[in-house]
Amino acid sequence: MFQDRGNIARYLRIGALLLVALFLGSAVTAYAFERQPHMQMALGALNRAAAQLNVAQRDKGGHRAAAYNLVEQAIGQVRAGIAFDNHR
């Protein structure tokens, strides 16, 4: 694969550029996450609630399913709020 020093240097440069791009991408993501810590915490809590409702017994007179649907709607609203704030 590496036949001479020129190829090695080229692959090292490409690797370094990929590492820089990865670092910058994660920094931007971390910045967006940190700007909205309460929304992110709410999203995590809602996802955990949805998971618990999903594994709960089904014999709740339709209330478990209704609660699950409302939690899913809330997840959508929180995500929409995060996206709205990120694009202002």
Kindly list the domain boundaries of the chain, sorted by start residue: 1-35, 36-88
How far are the Cα atoms of 35, 42, 59 from residue 80, in angstroms, in the given order? 15, 13, 32
More confident residue, 81 or 20: 81
Say how many CA atoms lie within 13 Å of 55 toward its Cβ: 5
pTM of the complete model beyond 0.85: no
Report the pLDDT value the prediction gives residue 33, as an integer from 0 to 100: 54
With bands split at pLDDT 50, 70 and 90, how would you rate the model's confidence at 65?
A: very high
